Amino acid sequence: MQQCRLHVTPLVNEGLFIAGSRKRGFSISHPEKLERVSELPLIQNTHPNAMRIIVDAALSRAGLQSRTEIEVDALDMMIELASRGDYCIIAPYTAIHGHVQDGTLSAAPVENLRVNWQVVTSNSRPVSVAARVFNDMLAARCHALVRSKMWKTGKFLYPALPFVDSS
């Protein structure tokens, strides 16, 4: 049996946000501590969703547990439920920015809670030209959004990738 080897291309490290209805009054300029997040009623993905694992692991490392009250595997439903009232969600800003901008949700970064975005391909077979072009375009777009500050909490995992124009 041949072992599958993976090639990982790091893109961006992004902060995660706690988000809820406007009445929650979260502010992008006022980060929330994990302790506060552990006190809030959450809507989270079911296990083994990667975002759920990141959140639960961070809370566990801090000796905390989440107050997960609803489990949903559809982001649009999570946003809808959070915007209506008492529940909160944890999500990357890229997933909620439109809802924050239009006032449907209020959101705040969660201190020390981040996710790495990366492209993973298999080394067991060649990557197609189309996939390489797409990966290059994706990396360039990610870097452009971080440089322009449109990606609120995005940070480069590497200062520049060889195929990304740094101008």
Decide if pLDDT at 3 tops 90.
no
Decide if pLDDT at 1 tops 60.
no
Q: What class, spelled out in words, does domain 15-114 have in CATH? A: alpha beta
pTM of the predicted model, to two decimals? Answer: 0.83
- Write out the DSSP string of 43-107: EEPPTT-HHHHHHHHHHHHTT---EEEEE-S-HHHHHHHHHHSS-BEEEEHHHHHHHHHTTS-EE
pLDDT, tens digit, for every residue of 113-135? 999 988 888 888 888 999 889 98
Percent of the chain at pLDDT > 90 equals: 59
